């Protein structure tokens, strides 16, 4: 679909789209409506209709654009977009729950479908995306995947796309999602999801990718309470470089293996020059168990999917006060604690190199591979992690274990892995660690 606006709406929008040559400059409808938050989406459609092919679309500087309805600005071609104002998304939660576009994975939805071929989107001169996410954080009450709660921006069915200088403040759900696309780069990227009440900002991932290849994330700062960067199934050839994460779950592969009918393959992914401050995790690979379950507090039941995760590199990490710096889990979401040795996801050739810093508790890593798929090629190279208490010469409370814990189970050629394994990794060890590993008898239970 190349026309995004019915002709009947064109006269209304045209007065606030200034078309000069191959450039369309947008101004908000509020300018002629006494400052009222009139929906600017018809004007947005008109601008992309006129200048979305071999042209440029500019959201004018120092203006607020009220986005009160879903947007589908796909099928762009040789188009430049310059965001110099504020995109302010409405807080009409019933509207979004009923009208957001589905994007297939995990019954997710999005507020904005964006993309095409040879497209550049730049945040310039103070332009930014305001998701008004607080309304969602409060409404969601720390629950997880709520159908209809929209991803802020989804790049879909696209090729050769650059997103540069984008700031997303208070995203409604995931901030960005790359789907079924090739050669997509997101650079100089900023995300901040911060709640001002008792409810957290659950499911505000900074970036997710799925069914996409040849991807780059470079120069980013992300503060939220979920994955900093999350790599979903069938992501290939992704480089994540120079990213700072605050208070979140760091770099994550997964979750994968959720659907029996949709195999997941993740290959050739590198995370390098990463900083994790006060995070729950830093370098995480998480898969579902191999038996499907119909009940899940995560809001999207699953398990039983097959595939593999291989050739993944976590390199040059600084971790500061991180609860669990390194983890592989093949039973991350099971509700019953059963079937943790059934994962159909094969994990291999994972390298952790030059990982340094402090853990919040006495655990540096927990690597659990299932009995069905023991993990070959797991390597530690120059991994130096000490608990915060240890660095201050203080004892660790509530545990007899004063040395850093490295949990390992089912690692092939463990003795040559470089991992100082000194503990068994439980099969259902969680990704939200809030205490020290107690002692050998407790930690080895599975």
Q: pLDDT of 234-290, one tens digit each?
A: 999 999 999 999 999 999 999 999 999 999 999 999 999 999 999 999 999 999 999
Region 419-437: mean pLDDT is: 92
Phi, psi angles (nearest 5°) of residue 335 = -85, -30
Distance CA 179, CA 234 (A): 10
**What is the percent of the chain where pLDDT is above 70?**
93
For residue 380, pLDDT over 70 is answered with yes
For residue 395, pLDDT over 80 is answered with no
For residue 6, pLDDT over 80 is answered with no
333 pLDDT band, cuts 50/70/90, is confident
Q: What is the pLDDT of residues 62-115, one digit of tens each?
A: 999 999 999 999 999 999 999 999 999 999 999 999 999 999 888 899 999 999
Residue 47 counted as domain residue: no
Spell 315-333 as b/e; 16+ CB within 10 A means b.
Answer: bbbbbbebbbbbbbbbbbb
Residue 283 counted as domain residue: yes
* Least confident residue range of 223-227, 391-395, 418-422: 391-395
Both structure tokens of 291: 């038996």
**Structural domain containing residue 169:** 53-443
5 pLDDT band, cuts 50/70/90, is very low
Separate counts of helices (H) and strands (E) for the chain: 6, 30
Q: What is the pLDDT of residues 13-27, one digit of tens each?
A: 344 899 999 999 999
Angle of CA points 162, 24, 82, to nearest 5°: 30
Instruction: Count the domains in the chain.
Output: 1
Residue 344 counted as domain residue: yes
User: pLDDT at position 233, please?
Assistant: 97
Residue 39 counted as domain residue: no
* Least confident residue range of 225-239, 249-263, 328-342: 328-342
User: pLDDT at position 1, please?
Assistant: 38
- The per-residue pLDDT of the chain, averaged, comes to 92
User: pLDDT at position 300, please?
Assistant: 60
For residue 446, pLDDT over 70 is answered with no
Selection from 291, 203, 201 nearest residue 252 by Cα: 203
416 pLDDT band, cuts 50/70/90, is very high
Residue 64 counted as domain residue: yes
**What is the percent of the chain where pLDDT is above 90?**
81
Residue 26 counted as domain residue: no
User: pLDDT at position 199, please?
Assistant: 97
Total Cβ atoms within 10 A of residue 62: 10
Maximum mean pLDDT: which of 109-123, 391-405, 427-441: 109-123
Residue 41 counted as domain residue: no
CATH at 63: 2.160.20.10
CB 304 within 8 A of CB 376: no
For residue 413, pLDDT over 70 is answered with yes
Q: What is the pTM of this model?
A: 0.93
Residue 16 counted as domain residue: no
Question: 413 catalytic, yes or no?
Answer: no
Q: What is the pLDDT of residues 108-138, one digit of tens each?
A: 999 999 999 999 999 999 999 999 999 999 9
User: pLDDT at position 25, please?
Assistant: 97
Region 139-148: mean pLDDT is: 88
Region 185-210: mean pLDDT is: 97
Q: What is the pLDDT of residues 42-61, one digit of tens each?
A: 999 999 999 999 999 999 99
Both structure tokens of 358: 């402090």
8 pLDDT band, cuts 50/70/90, is very low
> Per the residue annotation, which of 40, 205, 208, 226 is the catalytic one?
226
């Amino acid at each position: 679909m190349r026309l995004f606006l019915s002709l009947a709406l064109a006269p209304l929008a045209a007065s606030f789209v200034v078309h000069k040559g191959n450039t369309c400059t947008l101004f908000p409808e509020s300018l002629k409506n006494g400052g009222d938050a009139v929906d600017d989406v018809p004007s947005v459609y008109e601008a992309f209709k006129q200048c979305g092919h071999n042209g440029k679309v500019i959201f004018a500087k120092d203006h607020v654009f009220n986005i009160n309805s879903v947007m589908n600005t796909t099928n762009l071609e040789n188009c430049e977009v310059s965001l110099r104002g504020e995109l302010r998304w409405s807080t009409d939660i019933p509207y979004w729950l009923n009208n957001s576009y589905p994007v297939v994975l995990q019954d997710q939805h999005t507020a904005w479908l964006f993309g095409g071929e040879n497209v550049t989107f730049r945040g310039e001169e103070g332009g930014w995306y305001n998701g008004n996410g607080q309304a969602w954080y409060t409404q969601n009450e720390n629950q997880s995947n709520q159908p209809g709660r929209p991803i802020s921006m989804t790049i879909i069915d696209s090729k050769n796309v650059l997103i540069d200088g984008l700031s997303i403040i208070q995203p409604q759900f995931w901030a960005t999602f790359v789907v079924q696309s090739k050669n997509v780069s997101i650079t100089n990227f900023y995300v901040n999801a911060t709640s001002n009440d008792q409810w957290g900002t659950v499911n505000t991932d900074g970036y997710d990718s799925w069914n996409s290849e040849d991807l780059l994330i470079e120069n980013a700062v992300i503060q939220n309470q979920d994955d900093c960067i999350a790599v979903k199934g069938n992501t290939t050839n992704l480089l994540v470089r120079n990213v700072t994460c605050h208070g979140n779950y760091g770099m994550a592969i997964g979750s994968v293996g959720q659907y029996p009918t949709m195999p997941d393959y993740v290959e050739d992914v590198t995370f390098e020059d990463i900083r994790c401050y006060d995070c729950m995790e830093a370098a995480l690979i998480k898969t579902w168990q191999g038996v499907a379950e119909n009940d899940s507090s995560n809001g999207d039941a699953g398990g039983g999917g097959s595939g593999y995760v291989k050739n993944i590199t976590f390199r040059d990490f600084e971790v500061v006060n991180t609860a669990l710096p390194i983890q592989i889990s093949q039973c991350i979401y099971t509700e019953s604690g059963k079937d943790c040795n059934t994962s159909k996801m094969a994990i291999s050739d994972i390298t952790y190199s030059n990982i340094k810093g402090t853990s919040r508790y006495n655990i540096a890593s927990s690597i659990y591979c299932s009995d069905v798929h023991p993990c070959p090629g797991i390597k530690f190279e120059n991994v130096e992690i000490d608990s915060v208490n240890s660095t201050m010469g203080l004892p660790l409370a509530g545990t007899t274990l004063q040395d850093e814990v490295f949990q390992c189970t089912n690692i092939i050629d463990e003795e040559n892995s470089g991992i100082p394994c000194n503990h068994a990794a439980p099969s259902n060890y969680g990704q939200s660690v809030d205490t020290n590993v107690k002692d050998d008898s407790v930690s080895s239970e599975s």
